[in-house]
Amino acid sequence: MYDDLSLEHFMSGLKKRTPGEKEFHQAVYEVAESVIPFILEHTRYRQAGIIQRMTEPDRTIIFRVNWEDDEGHIRVNRGYRVQFNNSIGPYKGGIRFHPSVNLSILKFLGFEQTFKNSLTTLPMGAGKGGSDFNPKGKSDREVMRFCQAFMTELFHHIGPNTDVPAGDIGVGAREISYMFGQYKRLRHEFTGVLTGKAIEFGGSLIRTEATGYGNAYFMENMLNHHNDSIKGKTCVVSGSGNVATYCTEKINHLGGKVVTLSDSSGFIYDKDGIDAEKLAWVINLKTVKRGRISEYAKHFGAEYHKGKRPWGVPCDLAFPCATQNELGEDDAKTLVANGCKAVSEGANMPTTVEAIHVLLENKLLYGPGKAANAGGVAVSGLEMTQNSIRMAWTSEELEQKLKDIMQNIHNNCAKWGKEGDFTNYVKGANIAGFIKVADAMLAYGVA
């Protein structure tokens, strides 16, 4: 049945089965490019149809969410949970609230999560969920009512040993708290069913910082592996949310200088660097005042470029930390022309396939999100462990564990991605992530 396992034949079958799911096709293509040649060398994976099974979620739950806004109008949104693969642990992955959310985006994210969670070495399967609800401009009470309504359906499908969601775009501490409160009320049970909780009710220290810190550590690992480091480097970061801000913080700790941040309206360029004090101001702007990054330019007298992304600013290192497909082929060419040496992805799939090819052809060090941003879900895994043993580790212990996990992910990717003197981290991450899940699936037989 799987006689023709060429990339083209496999992708055309996938596209026929999932018409219109362009982000999902893109995520699968990026994996299949490196994993299919590996499968062709290892017939056990081919005969068992592992890649065909891995690209079909275990199940997808889609539901209506009704809620009432502050004016008393009834609003309707769509909720989702894609339970992608639980071969190596309970489904695990974030929840995204953004108007662009659709099945294709959640399937791409759930698929990526399979490899990412495997790379952490912790026992976590893969899932992703969310809604087309837009939290921007909503009052706290509206967000609360939405989160409660969302959880009123979702709670049937999740549990601490079944499926453990967390945050993603538009879902931070506030939303996790509202959802956890509703789960606890509906189930009449206090369990670690969500990660990213507040410290008072079972959250883990360092979880808030983990994705951004982990991404900076991944970059540092790639550079160290090639006899270099972040110290003294000019860095361009996109986004100004959870991942972007804590990535900036860790770059600062490691001696780099971050000169840009962005949001969906534009980017700021601060040639003097975004130091700890300015960063604290940004975190307050984004998490408390819920304002726009343009206000930074006014407040600190920096440049603001409306409607633009930051990739044209000359840099040594680039850290896309906002959203998918935010770095295209022309942006990659600009980075190369400006002498950029490495790209490490805090966001999921921020770089298009064409842009990845440009980076690899020009021998940049390129850390794909499934490896470079795995620190977030890794500390989520550590939050699950702490909930299970009913104890809490210290910040120092957790940061050391995060550092060790990122180093281990790096080394595993470097091992499988070695191409002479060059390290192809895309190939490395895909193959290293694939093996653990594939071997578990083989062990279960046809299940």
The residues binding ligand NDP (CB under 6 A) are: 167-170, 172, 211, 239-244, 263-265, 321-323, 346-348, 373, 376
Residue with tokens 């490495």: 342
Position of minimal CB gap to ligand 2IT: 94
Considering CB under 6 A, how many residues would be counted as binding ligand 2IT? 11
- Residue 406 is classified by DSSP as H
**Rounded to the nearest whole angstrom, what is the least distance from the CB of residue 314 to ligand NDP in the complex?**
21
Q: Which residue number, 116 or 233, has a Cβ lying nearer to ligand 2IT?
A: 116
263 binds, among ligand 2IT, ligand NDP, none (CB under 5 to 8 A by kind): ligand NDP
Q: What is the CA radius of gyration of the chain?
A: 21
- Which partner in ligand 2IT, ligand NDP, none is near 93 (CB below 5 to 8 A by kind)? ligand 2IT
Rounded to 10 deg, the angle between the 374-389 and 103-119 helix axes is: 70
DSSP 362: T
Please calculate the CA angle 67-69-71 and round it to the nearest 5 degrees: 145
Candidates 78-86, 129-137, 350-358, 372-380: pick the segment binding ligand 2IT (CB under 6 A): 372-380
- Cα 106 from Cα 386, distance rounded (Å): 28
| Dihedral angle of Cα 427, 428, 432, 437, to the nearest 10 degrees | -30
How many C-beta neighbours within 10 Å does residue 11 have? 16
Q: Is 386 in the site for ligand 2IT (CB under 6 A)?
A: no
State the Cα–Cα distance between residues 265 and 13, nearest whole angstrom.
38
- Nearest-approach distance from CB 345 to ligand 2IT, in angstroms: 11
How far, in Å, CA of 275 to CA of 270, rounded? 10
Q: What number of residues does the chain have? A: 447
Between 170 and 417, name the residue whose CB sits nearer to ligand 2IT: 170
Side chain identity, residue 40: L
Q: In the complex, what is the shortest distance from the CB of residue 16 to ligand NDP, in angstroms, rounded to a whole number?
A: 28
CB of 443 to ligand NDP, least distance (A): 28
Indicate the helix (H) or strand (E) that contains 147: helix 140-154
The C-alpha atoms of residue 173 and residue 397 are separated, in whole angstroms, by 22
| Binding site partner of 195, from ligand 2IT, ligand NDP, none, Cβ cut-off 5-8 A by kind | ligand 2IT
Q: Looking at 128, 250, 257, 370, which residue is catalytic?
A: 128
* 216 sits in which H/E element: helix 207-225
In this structure, is the dihedral angle defined by the CA atoms of residues 28, 30, 31 and 34, taken in order, positive or negative?
A: positive
327-348 CB burial, b ≥16 within 10 A, e <16: bbeebbbbbbeeebbbbbbbbb
Q: Does residue 308 have an active-site annotation?
A: no
Which one-letter DSSP state was computed for residue 287? I
Query: Considering beta carbons, is residue 45 or 425 the nearer one to ligand 2IT?
Result: 425
Q: How far apart are CA 416 and CA 368, in angstroms?
A: 14
By CB under 6 A, residue 130 contacts ligand 2IT: no
If one asks whether residue 94 binds ligand 2IT (CB under 6 A), the answer comes out as yes
Residue 235 has phi, psi (to 5 degrees) of -120, 140
Q: Which of 168, 175, 209, 249 binds ligand 2IT (CB under 6 A)?
A: 168
- Is residue 77 within the footprint of ligand 2IT (CB under 6 A)? no
Q: If binding is defined by CB under 6 A, does position 166 make contact with ligand 2IT?
A: yes
Q: Which is nearer to ligand NDP, 89 or 346 (CB)?
A: 346
- 195 interacts with ligand 2IT by CB under 6 A: yes
| Partner whose footprint covers residue 346, from ligand NDP, ligand 2IT, none (CB < 5 to 8 Å by kind) | ligand NDP
CB-nearer residue toward ligand NDP: 131 or 152: 131
- Residue 285 DSSP class: I
Does position 377 bind ligand 2IT by CB under 6 A? yes
Which partner in ligand 2IT, ligand NDP, none is near 12 (CB below 5 to 8 A by kind)? Answer: none
Between residues 115 and 311, which has the closer beta carbon with respect to ligand 2IT? Answer: 115
Q: Which is nearer to ligand 2IT, 10 or 24 (CB)?
A: 24
Closer to ligand 2IT by Cβ: residue 46 or 174: 174
Q: How far is the CB of 247 from ligand NDP (least distance, A)?
A: 9
Q: Which two tokens stand for residue 431?
A: 């193959």
Cα–Cα separations (whole angstroms), residue 123 to 15, 210, 382, 385, 440:
31, 18, 10, 10, 11
Q: Give the footprint of ligand 2IT on this chain (CB under 6 A).
A: 92-94, 116, 166, 168, 195, 348, 376-377, 380
As annotated, the active-site residues are 128
